[in-house]
């Protein structure tokens, strides 16, 4: 669960477990009114805006499952292998952890093998691979002995039981419960706080982040969800955001993408990036969220006061059309070109020539709609 962007010691992590399950007895009449189904999505906590959260969740999971960074511990549900990866990742870049993890699990492939190992050998391995505090190697070795001697070689399958193992704090316990047993709570760490703060305006408050994270996670899907939201924070929504480059699936709902303000609890000052184009893309999404669809030349003045139909460069029709076509390629908007009485998809329409764009004449009517 750890990521290169978050190298804090999970044993010092103060995040508490949050029960995301909804007690059927607590379902209100308003909840029952949602299609008459008591299992319908409850109202979000006050810290979250009113959105279609089924769509929000589906978008993130689809994005993650379509393409994500490949790490060997993501290809297994073995709690031992996952625990080793989590402990190694606490203060080490993930790219460096891969080789060390492979070497460690080749040397001691099972929890029984590690429990039988000489502790001095385990510590020497840790030192040789520059994996941080040697105490972590000692704790990992002792945890393996506990699993073998106290649990007959079977790991506890929930965060509470896993925290009884030596050196396993709340964060690591939740990671192993999530990724090995699909039985964890919503992760709340630096990455998740940054994502929730930027995307949904969750206030910088631990309790608010815990409520938001618990609500966002689909019940019973901690493995894929925690992987996905960590991937989002590590790949698309790092301290310097890569919204468009990484194809962030939450751009259409994201407050930061709309406003251009990408500060966060761990990013007190606006990060440096290609701000202008990104901010105008966000303004387009926000404006279409309000109006649904607009002709290109009505959209232009709403996102830039100096918009002009002629010429080249920023603020012109050609510039705006390039922005909306990029958004169309990213699946965020639909662009329809009206040629006479016929409406055609923009891919089927003939591109205007340079002279048409320069003088603003003969440009087909272009309508831009937010894709739902």
- Residues forming the active site: 86
Phi, psi values for residue 263, rounded to 5°: -70, 165
Extract the runs of DSSP E, i.e. beta strands, from 205-332: 293-295
Please tell me the total number of residues recorded for the chain in this structure: 372
d(CA 114, CA 157): 19
DSSP 336-357: EEEETTEEEEGGGSPPPPHHHH
d(CA 112, CA 101): 17
Judge contact between 11 and 167, C-beta under 8 A: yes
Nearest Cα to Cα of residue 77 among 173, 192, 9, 178: 178
Return contacts of 141-150, CB within 8 angstroms, 24+ apart.
141/114, 141/115, 141/117, 142/166, 142/167, 143/83, 143/167, 143/168, 144/80, 144/111, 144/112, 144/114, 144/115, 145/115, 147/80, 147/111, 147/115, 148/111, 148/112, 148/115, 149/115
On the CB side of 36, how many CA atoms lie within 13 Å of its CA? 0
Tokens of 114: 């590690």
b/e per residue 240-260 (b: at least 16 CB within 10 A): ebebbebebbbbbbbbbbbee
Nearest Cα to Cα of residue 24 among 42, 3, 45, 51: 42
């Amino acid at each position: 669960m750890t990521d290169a962007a978050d190298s804090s010691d999970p044993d010092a992590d103060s995040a508490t477990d949050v029960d995301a399950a909804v007690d059927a007895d607590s379902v209100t009449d308003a909840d029952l009114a949602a299609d008459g189904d008591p299992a319908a999505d409850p109202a979000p906590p006050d810290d979250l805006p009113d959105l279609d959260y089924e769509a929000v969740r589906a978008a993130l999971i689809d994005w993650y499952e379509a393409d994500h960074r490949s790490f060997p511990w993501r290809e297994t549900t073995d709690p031992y292998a996952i625990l080793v990866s989590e402990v190694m990742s606490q203060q080490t870049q993930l790219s460096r952890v891969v080789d060390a993890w492979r070497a460690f699990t080749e040397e001691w492939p099972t929890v029984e093998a590690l429990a039988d190992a000489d502790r001095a050998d385990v510590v020497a391995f840790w030192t040789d691979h520059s994996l941080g505090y040697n105490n972590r190697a000692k704790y990992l070795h002792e945890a393996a002995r506990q699993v073998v001697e106290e649990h007959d070689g079977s790991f506890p399958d929930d965060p509470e039981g896993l925290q009884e193992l030596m050196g396993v704090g709340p964060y690591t316990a939740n990671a192993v419960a999530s990724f090995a047993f699909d039985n964890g709570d919503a992760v709340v760490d630096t990455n998740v706080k940054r994502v929730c703060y930027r995307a949904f305006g969750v206030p910088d408050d631990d309790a608010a982040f815990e409520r938001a994270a618990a609500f966002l996670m689909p019940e019973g899907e901690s493995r894929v969800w925690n992987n996905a939201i960590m991937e989002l924070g590590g790949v698309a929504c790092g301290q310097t955001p890569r919204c468009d480059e990484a194809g962030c699936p939450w751009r259409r709902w994201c407050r930061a993408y709309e406003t251009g303000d990408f500060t966060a609890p761990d990013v007190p000052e606006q990060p440096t990036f290609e701000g202008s184009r990104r901010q105008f893309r966000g303004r387009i999404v926000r404006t279409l969220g309000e109006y649904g669809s607009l002709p290109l030349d009505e959209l232009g003045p709403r996102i830039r006061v100096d918009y002009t139909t002629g010429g080249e460069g920023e603020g012109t029709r050609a510039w705006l059309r390039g922005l909306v076509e990029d958004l169309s390629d990213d699946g965020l908007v639909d662009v329809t070109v009206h040629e006479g009485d016929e409406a055609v998809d923009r891919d089927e329409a003939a591109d205007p020539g340079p002279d048409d764009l320069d003088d603003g004449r003969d440009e087909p009517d272009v309508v831009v709609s937010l894709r739902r």
